[in-house]
């Protein structure tokens, strides 16, 4: 018999009908309905076909030999919990149906047994097979749904652990730099808000990557209210990983906090520009810049606080090179650049 593969969501049908031309007749009926069919003999050929995982098995009375029953039983025993293979048995009218049913139910507990008497109308047989192919499809869909649910639970558990670890880390580093409970409360709340903004952007993006513009926009949005845009954001639409987005958001929060205390955002006339662009130095290269103007005269501090140290360390680790930090009299500037591949999601 020629085997004609047909593209379909449905499984294929294995036929065991050794006598006359039953296999040819059944195959012809099914192929008219665009169902893929394969026929096997009761030898090693049967094992090879079973290993290919048929969706439905059609077996005639004559094929119910002990060795065939044993081979099918071994195949069914290997099935996963979700799998209940439909087996359609075509019996002669004089066959001892009750005894055969009892024996096969005992031998094939992992099957969905159905019995039909011969002769059987072609339309009835085709409908029975197609119905069971649909049952098989539903079984696979349930399996896929269960597997996806497991993946989602594992992913949720992983994300919750990461978030809790981030919160713990933020609290510890905020506590080390705080000089009072009020400072601890204010700075810790601000950093948590920055973390929350990134989480919101990632969830809305629906994956492990997020728009850099969305991350920056959410981070600065609390400071651009009431129609006043103290912080100007400029940059192309670039997608970065969740980890990169979180780092950038936390660093921007530190820079904003510093600008509010000492820099351009501490006076009404001051403004900040956050800009990034994409170049190419052998590979795509991202440059990110923070620039303050219109603020008080800038003087380089004699000692650096936690925020400054965090920005240097975090941006350096993320981009692969230390940021360039300039305490120019006209305004504080921070610029960093590195290969875009360091910031994008990795396979």
* CATH (domain of 112): 3.40.50.2300
Domain boundary among 143, 169, 191: 143
> For helices 181-205 and 242-261, what crossing angle results, to 10°?
140
> Do residue 35 and residue 124 come from a single domain?
yes
> Do residue 338 and residue 219 come from a single domain?
yes
Domain boundary among 143, 163, 191: 143
Judge whether residue 276 has pLDDT over 50. yes
**Which residue, among 50, 46, 10, has the nearest Cα to 30 in the 3D structure?**
10
Considering the chain, what percentage of its residues have pLDDT values greater than 90? 36
Does residue 3 lie in a domain region? no
Which of 12-16, 68-72, 193-197, 291-295 is the least confident region?
Answer: 193-197
Does residue 133 lie in a domain region? yes
- Both tokens of 302, joined, read 């004699």
Q: What is the pTM of this model?
A: 0.52
Does residue 65 lie in a domain region? yes
Which CATH number does the domain housing residue 189 bear?
A: 3.30.565.10
Average pLDDT over residues 124-153: 89
**Residue of higher predicted confidence among 313 and 160:** 313
**Which residue, among 328, 316, 327, 258, has the nearest Cα to 288 in the 3D structure?**
316
Query: What does the pLDDT look like over 49-102, one tens digit per residue?
Result: 999 999 999 999 989 999 999 999 999 999 988 889 999 999 988 889 899 999
**Residue of higher predicted confidence among 138 and 1:** 138
> Do residue 182 and residue 329 come from a single domain?
yes
Q: What contacts 58, CB < 8 A, 6 or more positions away? A: 13, 14, 15, 16, 17, 26, 87, 88, 90, 129
Considering its fold, how many domains does the chain have in total? 2
pLDDT at 3: 44
Does residue 159 lie in a domain region? no
> Do residue 334 and residue 201 come from a single domain?
yes
Domain span at residue 247 reads 178-342
Judge whether residue 1 has pLDDT over 60. no
Domain boundary among 143, 158, 190: 143
Judge whether residue 114 has pLDDT over 60. yes
Does residue 229 lie in a domain region? yes
**Cβ distance 88 to 131 under 8 Å?**
no
Q: What is the DSSP string of 225-285?
A: -TT---EEEEE---EEEHHHHHHHHHHHHHHHHHHHHTSGGGSTT-EEEEEEEEEESSSEE
């Amino acid at each position: 018999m020629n085997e004609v593969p047909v593209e379909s969501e449905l499984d294929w049908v294995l036929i065991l009908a050794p006598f006359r031309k039953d296999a040819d007749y059944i195959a012809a009926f099914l192929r008219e309905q665009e169902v893929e069919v394969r026929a096997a003999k009761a030898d090693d050929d049967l094992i090879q076909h079973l290993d290919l995982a048929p969706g439905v098995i059609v077996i005639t009375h004559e094929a119910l030999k002990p060795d065939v029953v044993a081979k099918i039983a071994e195949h069914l025993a290997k099935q996963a919990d979700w799998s209940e293979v439909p087996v359609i048995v075509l019996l002669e009218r004089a066959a001892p149906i009750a005894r055969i049913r009892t024996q096969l139910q005992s031998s094939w507990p992992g099957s969905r047994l159905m019995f039909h008497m011969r002769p059987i109308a072609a339309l009835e047989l085709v409908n029975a097979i197609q119905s069971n192919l649909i049952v098989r499809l539903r079984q696979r869909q349930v399996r896929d749904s269960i597997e996806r649910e497991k993946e989602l639970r594992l992913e949720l558990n992983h994300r919750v652990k990461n978030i809790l670890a981030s919160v713990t880390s933020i609290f510890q580093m905020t506590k080390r730099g705080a000089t009072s409970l009020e400072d601890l409360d204010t700075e810790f709340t601000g950093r948590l808000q920055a973390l929350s903004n990134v989480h919101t952007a990632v969830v809305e993006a629906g994956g492990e990557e997020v728009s850099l513009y969305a991350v920056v926009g959410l981070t600065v949005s609390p400071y651009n209210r009431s129609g006043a845009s103290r912080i100007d954001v400029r940059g192309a639409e670039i997608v970065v990983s969740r980890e990169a987005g979180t780092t950038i958001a936390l660093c921007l929060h530190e820079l904003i906090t510093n600008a509010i205390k000492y820099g351009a955002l501490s006076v009404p006339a001051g403004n900040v520009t956050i800009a990034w662009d994409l170049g190419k130095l052998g590979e795509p290269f991202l440059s990110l810049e923070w620039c303050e103007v219109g603020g008080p005269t800038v003087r380089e501090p004699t000692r650096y606080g936690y925020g400054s140290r965090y920005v240097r360390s975090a941006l350096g680790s993320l981009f692969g090179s230390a940021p360039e930090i300039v305490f120019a009299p006209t305004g504080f500037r921070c610029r960093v650049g590195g290969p875009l591949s360091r910031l994008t999601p990795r396979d």
